[in-house]
Amino acid sequence: MKERYSMEKNFGTRVRQARHKAGLTQAALAEKLNLDETTISRIENGSQATSFATMLNFSEALDVKFDYLICDYLDDSIHSKDPINAEILDMITPLPDNYKRLIRDNIRQLLEKIPPEMGEK
């Protein structure tokens, strides 16, 4: 099991990334969530835990899927510890579903062009 601080730090990092992508300041996000700006800062820095309900509120306010904010804690079969797989997942998780499908289809086309012997480990 991951240390609590690590979990809080990772959640905070995801919140910060999503906030930047949404073009929001900490003050603007705090207003949307009816929280203090200091609370947003502490959550983003991993120094303050938050409730499950507040995590859901962050997801809604930032217009990201909840699993994006907590994807570091998903089962290993879903979120691989392989750094390349994790990097790919991190890049596509915040995208809308139509872009994810486009990327998936492109990957399938690329994989069809790889000779079978190249796919062996």
Domains contained in the chain, CATH given? 1-73 (1.10.260.40), 75-121 (no CATH)
Compute the chain's Rg from CA coordinates: 17
Residue 24 contacts residue 63 (beta carbons within 8 Å): no
pTM across the whole model: 0.59
Q: One digit per residue, pLDDT tens: the chain, 121 residues? A: 444 557 788 889 999 999 999 999 999 999 999 999 999 999 999 999 899 899 999 999 999 988 888 876 554 444 456 778 778 888 888 888 899 899 989 988 988 888 777 655 5
CA 106 to chain centre: 22
